[in-house]
C-alpha cells in the first residue's frame, strides 16, 4: 500500500514558503506542514545542492516514506522537464504506486495556489521531451563547433581577446543580426538631397509647410521647383480635413515586450531585466514573468488586481478613478495557452524594492493600468495648399481624451495647434528655403530591435532570448554602446563573415526557426522526439564535416584581422623542452606560447601572472610562475605551465574540472594542476611540502601562500577559505615535522624584533597552528576569492590525498548520459 503522506517539490525557497504558508494556513513547522491528515512535506532545491548527484540524493532521502507527489515547478516547458527529473530522482515507477500530480499556477497568491491545488493535472511528457530535444541538439552542435574553432584559432592567434570561440545554433544567428546591421552601416553611401520649404505667417503663427514630394536628389530640379514657388508667391488652401482618431491602449505585457521596454526605456540589459523580474515574482509582487501571451483569460480578476493598488502612494488615486468611472476591457491579444500577461499582484513602494526592482515593477504596474484605461482620442487636422503647381501641407493634433496616456505619458500624442484656415483662402508666402541634407546610415542594432528580430525569426524562446544576447556580449562578439546599442567587435564580424564564406546557413535564422517548429510539434505530441533529434543532428554532422574541410577560408579572414601568436605577447619564462623563452599573451584567454616548439600553454584567468624567482619544476624543467587573484583577499599560488595543462598525476584534471578543448590536450577554461594540488613527494612547492592542515569548510587542504608576506596567510586549495597568520613576521615557512596530536605540518615563524610576542625579544618559533596556544591565538579565519569552484562535503584535507594519485593511465570510467554522449557525433 502506498503511504497517504504527500511530498511537494518547489524549485525556489521563496515559492516553497508561499505554498507552505497557504496550505498550512500559516502554521509552518520547519519543513513539516500539518494540515490535518495526511502529512505534507514541502521541499525545494536548496542553493547548496548545485550538483546533480547532491540534488538526487537530497530528493531521494526526503521522499522516503511518502506516497503521492505534487510538483510545483515553473509552469513552462523547462519546468515540465524538471518535473520528470524530480520524478526520476525520487524513483517514480509502477512498483512504487505513487500518484504524480502537477500544479499549474501563474502567481504565488493564496487564490492561485488554492486554485492550483483544486485543479491538479498530470505532468506533460511531450513538453518535457521538447526540452530534452532542444538541449541535446544545442549541446552537441554547440560543443562540436566550439571545440574545433577554439583549438584551431587560439592555437594560431594571440589577440582574439576571448576565452572561447563559441558557436551556438541560437547564439550565432543572434550575432548574425548585429553583424548584418554593421555591414549595412559600413557599405552605406550617403547622398545629398534637397527639399523646398515655404513659410507663411497666419494670425501670428509662423508655419513651415511640408512638401508632398518630400525630397529630391537632383539639385537643379530642386532649384527649378523653388523658383516656381517663389515666382507664384501666393498659396491657396485647397483642402481642410479634420478627423477624430484614437491611439489604442496596449495589449497585455508578455516577456518579449517587457525585455524590449526594459532595454530601451530603463537601460536594463535583457539578462538583468529577467533576473529582476524573477525576483519580483518569487517575492509575490508580480505574476510569472515568462509568458508569450498578450491576451488575458476570460476569468481574469481585473477588479481584484486593480483593488490591490488603490492605496499605492504613487498611482493609487488613478486606480481609484478607474474603479469609480469603470475600467475598460483590455484589447484582444494573443493567447498562446501558457500564462496570462505579466501583471502586478501586490502594492509596493521604492523603499520596499530598491531602485532597479522598483523601476521595473513601476513599468509593469503602469502598463497593466494602461491596458484597462480608455484609448487616447484626438482630432487630426490636415491643411493642404497649392502654389506654382506644387502641393504642400501642415498637420495639427488636438487631444480630446488622454486615456491611457495619463498613466503612460511617454506614449502621449504631441499636441500641435494650427491657426484657422478657410478653403480657397489665399495666403502670401513669407519665405521659401531650399533645405539641403544628407541621407544617413542606420544605427547599430539596439537590444530592443534585436529582441524583435529574434522573436520574428523564431530564435530562442521567451526564457532564452536574454541568455543568447548575454552570451554574445560575454564572448566579446559585441559590445554594448551608449543607448544599449550593440556594436560587433572584430572577432564577431570575422566569425560571421567566415561562416558566410563557408556555409551561410550556420549564421542565418532559417535552420533555427525550422528546429523550433519541430520542437513545438514534439511539445504538442505531433512529432517523435527521437526522430527530430536524429534528423537535425544528421544535418549538422554534414555541415560540421564540410566546415572542418573549408576552415582555411575562415582562417584567411582571421589572418588578415589578428596577430599570429609569434608576434603577440611579451617574453616571460623558459620552456622546459627547448629552454627558449616563451611569450605571455595577456588577452583572453591568458596563455604562454613557445615559438620554437609551437606549443600553447593555458594559464588561470582573471588575475596577474609573473615569474617565480626563476625556480623550475623538478618534473619537466619548466620555469614556475606565480598567479595572483585581484583584490586584498585574492590568493596567490605557484604553477608549472606544463603540469597545469597536462597534470602528471591521474585524477587531478577530472577532480578539478580541467575540461580538454581539443585533441592536443589544451585546457579550455584554464583549470588544471597548480603546485598546491601536486602530490610530488620532494618538490618544495607541492601540496606535500606546503600543505598545513585540513580545511574546516570543505575537503581541501590549507596551503601556505608563498608570496603573501608581510601579510602571511594560508589558503584552501579548493574553496575560498583563508587563515591570516601573524602579520609582520619576517618569514613563515613549513617544516618537515608533523604535529603528534593532529598530524598537521609544523610551521616555523620568524617574528619581527619590534613586535615579537615571545619573551626576552626572541623571534624564532615553531609550532602547530591548531594545537599550539600561542600560534592559534594569533591567527584569524576569513573568506576570500577562490579560483576553483567550491566542492561540497567535509574531508580530511591533505591526509586524505595520500596514495590517492597515480601516474598517467586509464580513465575513471564515469557513467555518461547517453543522450549527452558524443560517441556517434
Helix (H) or strand (E) holding 749: strand 745-750
Count of CB atoms situated within 10 Å of the CB of 645: 25
Would you say 373 and 327 are in contact if contact means Cβ atoms under 8 Å apart?
A: yes
Residues 269 and 308: beta-carbon distance below 8 Å: no
DSSP secondary structure of 788-800: SPPPPS---GGGG
Select which of 281, 288, 602, 642 is catalytic: 288
CB 263 within 8 A of CB 449: no
Cα-Cα-Cα-Cα dihedral sign, residues 346, 350, 352, 357: positive
- Here the cell at position 189 is 553611401
Question: All 3 cell numbers of residue 448?
Answer: 530592443
Q: What is d(CA 294, CA 249) in angstroms, rounded to the nearest whole number?
A: 13
**Length of the chain measured in residues:** 825
Helices (H) and strands (E) in the chain, counts: 23, 31
d(CA 491, CA 484): 20
Place of cell 541634407: 437
Q: How far apart are the first and last CA of the chain?
A: 46
- Rounded Cα gap, residues 106 and 116, in angstroms: 9
Q: Taking CA 373 as the corner, what is the angle to CA 368 and CA 377, rounded to the nearest 5 degrees?
A: 135
Instruction: Quote the CA–CA distance of 467 and 484 in Å, as a whole number.
Output: 16
Outline where DSSP puts E strands in 131-221. Answer: 192-202, 205-208, 210-211
* 711 grid coordinates: 601579510
3-state secondary structure of 48: coil
Nearest to 412 by CA among 422, 403, 421, 420: 403
Active site residue 499: no
Residues 6+ apart with CB under 8 A from 92: 69, 98, 100
Burial of 97 (0-12, 13-18, 19+ CB in 10 A): exposed
C-alpha cell at 8: 511537494
Which residue, 404, 339, 409, is CA-closest to 368? 404
Cβ(553)–Cβ(501) below 8 Å: yes
Per-residue buried b or exposed e for 749-776, using 16+ beta carbons within 10 Å of the residue's own CB: bebeeeebeeeeeebebebbbbebeebe
Strand partners of residue 794: none
Q: Sort strands 721-724 and 780-783 into parallel, antiparallel or unpaired.
A: antiparallel
371 Cα distance to chain centroid: 30
d(CA 797, CA 783): 17
CA 164, 165, 169, 175 torsion: positive or negative? positive
Alpha-carbon span 556 to 564, nearest angstrom = 12
Interatomic CA distance for residues 222 and 240, integer angstroms:
27
Measured between alpha carbons, how far is 765 from 470 in angstroms, rounded to an integer? 54
Active site residues: 288
Amino acid at each position: 500500500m502506498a503511504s497517504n503522506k504527500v511530498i511537494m517539490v518547489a524549485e525556489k525557497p521563496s515559492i516553497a514558503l508561499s505554498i507552505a504558508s497557504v496550505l498550512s494556513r500559516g502554521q509552518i513547522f520547519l519543513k513539516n506542514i500539518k494540515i490535518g491528515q495526511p502529512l505534507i512535506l514541502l521541499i525545494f532545491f536548496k542553493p547548496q545542492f548545485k550538483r546533480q548527484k547532491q540534488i538526487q540524493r537530497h530528493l531521494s532521502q526526503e521522499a522516503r516514506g511518502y506516497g503521492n507527489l505534487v510538483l510545483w515547478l515553473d509552469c513552462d516547458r523547462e519546468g515540465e522537464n524538471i518535473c520528470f527529473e524530480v520524478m526520476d530522482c525520487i524513483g517514480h515507477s509502477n512498483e512504487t504506486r505513487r500518484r504524480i500530480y502537477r500544479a499549474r499556477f501563474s502567481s504565488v497568491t493564496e487564490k492561485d495556489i488554492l486554485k492550483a491545488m483544486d485543479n491538479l493535472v498530470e505532468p506533460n511528457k511531450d513538453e518535457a521531451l521538447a526540452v530534452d530535444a532542444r538541449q541535446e541538439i544545442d549541446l552537441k552542435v554547440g560543443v562540436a563547433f566550439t571545440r574545433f574553432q577554439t583549438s584551431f584559432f587560439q592555437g594560431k592567434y594571440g589577440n582574439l581577446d576571448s576565452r572561447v570561440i563559441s558557436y551556438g545554433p541560437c547564439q550565432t544567428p543572434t550575432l548574425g543580426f548585429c553583424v548584418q546591421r554593421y555591414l549595412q552601416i559600413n557599405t552605406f553611401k550617403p547622398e545629398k538631397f534637397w527639399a523646398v520649404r515655404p513659410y507663411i505667417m497666419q494670425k501670428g503663427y509662423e508655419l513651415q509647410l511640408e512638401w508632398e514630394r518630400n525630397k529630391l536628389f537632383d539639385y537643379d530640379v530642386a532649384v527649378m521647383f523653388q523658383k516656381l514657388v517663389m515666382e507664384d508667391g501666393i498659396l491657396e488652401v485647397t483642402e481642410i480635413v479634420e478627423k477624430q482618431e484614437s491611439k489604442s491602449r496596449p495589449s497585455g505585457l508578455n516577456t518579449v515586450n517587457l525585455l524590449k521596454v526594459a532595454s530601451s526605456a530603463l537601460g536594463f540589459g535583457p539578462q538583468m531585466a529577467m533576473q529582476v523580474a524573477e525576483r519580483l515574482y518569487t517575492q509575490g509582487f508580480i505574476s510569472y514573468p515568462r509568458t508569450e501571451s498578450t491576451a488575458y483569460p476570460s476569468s481574469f480578476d481585473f477588479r481584484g488586481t486593480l483593488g490591490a493598488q488603490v492605496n499605492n502612494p504613487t498611482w493609487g488615486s488613478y486606480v481609484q478613478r478607474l474603479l469609480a468611472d469603470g475600467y475598460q476591457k483590455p484589447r484582444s491579444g494573443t493567447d498562446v495557452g501558457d500564462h496570462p500577461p505579466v501583471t502586478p499582484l501586490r502594492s509596493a513602494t521604492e523603499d520596499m524594492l530598491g531602485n532597479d526592482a522598483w523601476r521595473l515593477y513601476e513599468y509593469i504596474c503602469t502598463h497593466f493600468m494602461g491596458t484597462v484605461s480608455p484609448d487616447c482620442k484626438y482630432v487630426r487636422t490636415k491643411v493642404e495648399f497649392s502654389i506654382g503647381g506644387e502641393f504642400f501641407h501642415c498637420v495639427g493634433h488636438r487631444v480630446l481624451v488622454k486615456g491611457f496616456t495619463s498613466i503612460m505619458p511617454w506614449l502621449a500624442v504631441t499636441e500641435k495647434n494650427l491657426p484657422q484656415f478657410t478653403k480657397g483662402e489665399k495666403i502670401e508666402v513669407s519665405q521659401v528655403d531650399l533645405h539641403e541634407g544628407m541621407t544617413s546610415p542606420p544605427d547599430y542594432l539596439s537590444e530592443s530591435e534585436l529582441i524583435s528580430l529574434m522573436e520574428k525569426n523564431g530564435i530562442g524562446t521567451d526564457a532564452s532570448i536574454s541568455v543568447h544576447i548575454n552570451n554574445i556580449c560575454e564572448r566579446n562578439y559585441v559590445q554594448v554602446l551608449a543607448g544599449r546599442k550593440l556594436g560587433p567587435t572584430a572577432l564577431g564580424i570575422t566569425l560571421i563573415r567566415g561562416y558566410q564564406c563557408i556555409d551561410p546557413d550556420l549564421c542565418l535564422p532559417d535552420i533555427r526557426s525550422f528546429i523550433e517548429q519541430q520542437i513545438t510539434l514534439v511539445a504538442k505530441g505531433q512529432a517523435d522526439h527521437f526522430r527530430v533529434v536524429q534528423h537535425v543532428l544528421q544535418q549538422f554532422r554534414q555541415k560540421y564535416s564540410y566546415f572542418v574541410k573549408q576552415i582555411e577560408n575562415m582562417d584567411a579572414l582571421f589572418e588578415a584581422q589578428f596577430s599570429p601568436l609569434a608576434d603577440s605577447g611579451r617574453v616571460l619564462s623558459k620552456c622546459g623542452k627547448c629552454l627558449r623563452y616563451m611569450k605571455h599573451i595577456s588577452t583572453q584567454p591568458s596563455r604562454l606560447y613557445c615559438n620554437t616548439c609551437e606549443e600553447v600553454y593555458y594559464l588561470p584567468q582573471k588575475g596577474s601572472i609573473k615569474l617565480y624567482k626563476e625556480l623550475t619544476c623538478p618534473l619537466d624543467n619548466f620555469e614556475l610562475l606565480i598567479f595572483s587573484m585581484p583584490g586584498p583577499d585574492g590568493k596567490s599560488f605557484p604553477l608549472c605551465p606544463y603540469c597545469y595543462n597536462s597534470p602528471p598525476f591521474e585524477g587531478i584534471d577530472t577532480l578539478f574540472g580541467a575540461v580538454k578543448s581539443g585533441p592536443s590536450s589544451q585546457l579550455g577554461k584554464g583549470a588544471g594542476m597548480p603546485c598546491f594540488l601536486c602530490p610530488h613527494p620532494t618538490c618544495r612547492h607541492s601540496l606535500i611540502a606546503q600543505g598545513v592542515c585540513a580545511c574546516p569548510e570543505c575537503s581541501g587542504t590549507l596551503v601556505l601562500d608563498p608570496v603573501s608576506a608581510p601579510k602571511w596567510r594560508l589558503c584552501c586549495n579548493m574553496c575560498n577559505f583563508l587563515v591570516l597568520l601573524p602579520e609582520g613576521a619576517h618569514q613563515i615557512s613549513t617544516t618537515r615535522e608533523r604535529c603528534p596530536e593532529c598530524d598537521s605540518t609544523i610551521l616555523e615563524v620568524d617574528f619581527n624584533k619590534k613586535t615579537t610576542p615571545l619573551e626576552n625579544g626572541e623571534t624564532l618559533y615553531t609550532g602547530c597552528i591548531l594545537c599550539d596556544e600561542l600560534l592559534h591565538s594569533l591567527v584569524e579565519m576569513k573568506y576570500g576569492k577562490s579560483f576553483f569552484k567550491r566542492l561540497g562535503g567535509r574531508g580530511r584535507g591533505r591526509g586524505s590525498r595520500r596514495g590517492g594519485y597515480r601516474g598517467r593511465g586509464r580513465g575513471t570510467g564515469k557513467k555518461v548520459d547517453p543522450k549527452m554522449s558524443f560517441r556517434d557525433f
